[in-house]
Structure 1
Amino acid sequence: MSKVIRIGTRNSPLALWQANVVKSQLERLGYQTQLIPITSTGDIVLDKPLYELGITGIFTKTLDVAMIQGQIDIAVHSMKDVPTLLPKGIIQTAVLERASHDDILVTKELFNYEEECTIATGSLRRKAQWLNRYPHHKVVGLRGNVNTRLQSLANSDWQGAIFAKAGLERIDLLPENYQDLHWMIPAPAQGAMVVVANEDDTFCVEATSKLNHKDSQVCTGIEREFLRVLEGGCTAPIGAFAEVIGNQILFKGILLSLDGKEKIEIEETTTLSQMQGFGRKCAEYILSNGGKTLMQQIKNEMSN
């Protein structure tokens, strides 16, 4: 175990926390490690919504390049930020045990949902689901890392902002004033951390594969397959969540129009022994029940 495993990470507080979890777990197994923080394009360009930047994997691309160029050996990502198709030569080696998958609403004070109010999020998925449920509300954009987004909320006249619960919990920033949005279907793989490595680096592949949590790998794999089949390279309001219950897998998926007025949902179960292609099957149900037309409509609106 003489090789020092260089761990690439974004340099945001949350990304560094995640990378340090992997670092600690590898070191407990006897490996030597070193953190290599790298600034991504997604952390630099903060004046535009992510979907307007038109780059798939904007938070992961910089680390992919660093790995291909030999600057780092592995990379740690929030799995929901990772494109469903990895660059050639880079493979997923471990999904760590998933934390909370929930979205939460952070508020400054109690407010009446029936009244007009303004909610902030940088996510098309969250915006569409919120407007579907509260069409009389206004949703505004929000960018930056967790800390800067919380500060933006504090400095604004918004009534609330939507966050992933796991991110706030991980860096101990979960405020008192929040509400769990159990009704909101999360982003595929939300709450999960993933490790990727060069497929030819057998040392790092073997080392990091020891960190894999099987149920989390199964569930996020189904969710990402659902996303890949639906997406076709287009950013869209898509939610997906799979859960292992005994020997069964419960799956919930959703596709919405950008304004939230239309939604197509699926809730389906399968067994662990029959899970092959389950995500694809659920996505094909959505596509054949109006999803194909809706995805084309989204692509048209996004390109205008």
Structure 2
Amino acid sequence: MKNVIRIGTRDSELALWQANTVQNKLEALGHNTTLIPVKATGDLVLDKPLYELGITGIFTKTLDVALLKGDIDIAVHSMKDVPTVLPKGVVQAAVLERAETHDVLVHKGTDFLEREGILATGSLRRKAQWLAKYPKHKVVDLRGNVNSRLIKLIENDWNGAIFAQAGLERIKLLPKDAVQLDWMIPAPAQGAMLVAGLKDNEQVIQAASELNDDHSAITTQIEREFLKTLEGGCTAPIGALAEIKNQKVYFKGCLHALDGSAFVETIKERPLTKIEGFGKSCAYEILESGGKQLMDEIKNELNNSVH
């Protein structure tokens, strides 16, 4: 393809790393490309928690608009930031091979885990799962890109903060003493990168689809189906992880109360050949096991905190 593929990306270091990765892979396949960085609303408004901004896809909306206006040909996203319903006319072209899915604790000494302490995170999911395990801790809101969040941790009297391991590894900022939180269920599609494009732009979709990793596409689709069925988005503490081993898909998903005091979780497995509706059925199980009531309580709490 002789046309230059314009790759839209947020302008943070991590987003640019992701876009450069896509660019290098496309160039290696013989395509001509150029990067077009844009600033997302989620990067500009840092004084409010995400759920208070009341927009799903706050980090992806700017790129969606650029796509629909024809300013870019494809957009590269951290998949966990992407709403489960894409804008009309926009399609998922590829999911790249997934990186590490776990969260990590970046800390100033782990002795606070045995006593009271202050933990920083902007994620309702991380906060809820942390408080479920460490109810004596105080959790403070932490926003910004990876670099600015690390700086804020240094500058404040917090004991630690939670990050996605993949993000820190990608830009070589993972501290040697960071603790992998293998007990914490990650965000749906954490560690995965998504390439989106316009449905009608068949040449570009075809080019981008060459980057698709089948296993990563399957596991993230199950997790996002689970999230969508629970009506998650950025507004509920929902964790989900699907893994493929020996021709089977192993899934674990959870929904927590905002303060971590209650939760419902499910652990399931299915043959790889029978995964149609797997995420949805896992979500229904959560809803029927007390999750519906929990979800209603979460929505009420969030509505009351915003108004």
TM-score range, shorter chain: over 0.9
* Amino acid in the other structure paired with 1:203: Q
Partner of 1:173: 173
Please give the alpha-carbon distance, in whole angstroms, between the structure 1 residues aligned to 2:245 and 2:202: 34
1:292 and 2:301 matched: no
Q: CA deviation at 1:156?
A: 0.9
Moved over 2 A (4+): none
Which structure 2 residue ranges, 5 or more long, are not aligned?
A: none
> Structure 2-normalised TM-score?
0.98
1:48 and 2:65 matched: no
1:258 and 2:258 matched: yes
Whether the 8 Å contact between 2:248 and 2:271 is mirrored in structure 1 is yes
Whether the 8 Å contact between 2:83 and 2:233 is mirrored in structure 1 is no
Q: CA deviation at 1:52?
A: 0.9
* Amino acid in the other structure paired with 1:164: A
Partner of 2:74: 74
Please give the alpha-carbon distance, in whole angstroms, between the structure 2 residues aligned to 1:50 and 1:245: 35
Q: Cα RMSD (Å) of the superposition?
A: 0.8
Please give the alpha-carbon distance, in whole angstroms, between the structure 2 residues aligned to 1:218 and 1:71: 30
* Amino acid in the other structure paired with 1:210: E
Q: CA deviation at 1:109?
A: 2.1
Please give the alpha-carbon distance, in whole angstroms, between the structure 1 residues aligned to 2:245 and 2:293: 33
* Amino acid in the other structure paired with 1:256: H
* Amino acid in the other structure paired with 1:138: K
Q: CA deviation at 1:108?
A: 1.5
How many residues end up aligned between the 2 structures? 304
1:19 and 2:5 matched: no
Partner of 1:5: 5
Partner of 1:119: 119
Q: CA deviation at 1:112?
A: 3.7
Give 3-state SS (helix, strand or coil) of 2:104's partner.
Answer: strand
Partner of 2:93: 93
1:147 and 2:147 matched: yes
Identity %: 62
Please give the alpha-carbon distance, in whole angstroms, between the structure 2 residues aligned to 1:134 and 1:233: 25
1:227 and 2:232 matched: no
* Amino acid in the other structure paired with 1:238: I
* Amino acid in the other structure paired with 1:135: P
Whether the 8 Å contact between 1:234 and 1:299 is mirrored in structure 2 is no
Whether the 8 Å contact between 1:63 and 1:75 is mirrored in structure 2 is yes
Greater displacement, 60-69 / 103-112:
103-112
* Amino acid in the other structure paired with 1:42: G
Please give the alpha-carbon distance, in whole angstroms, between the structure 1 residues aligned to 2:38 and 2:135: 40
Give 3-state SS (helix, strand or coil) of 1:161's partner.
Answer: strand
Partner of 2:156: 156
Partner of 2:107: 107
> Structure 1-normalised TM-score?
0.99
Please give the alpha-carbon distance, in whole angstroms, between the structure 1 residues aligned to 2:39 and 2:71: 14
Partner of 1:34: 34
- Shift of the 240–137 alpha-carbon distance from structure 1 to 2, 3 Å rule, reads same
* Amino acid in the other structure paired with 1:14: L
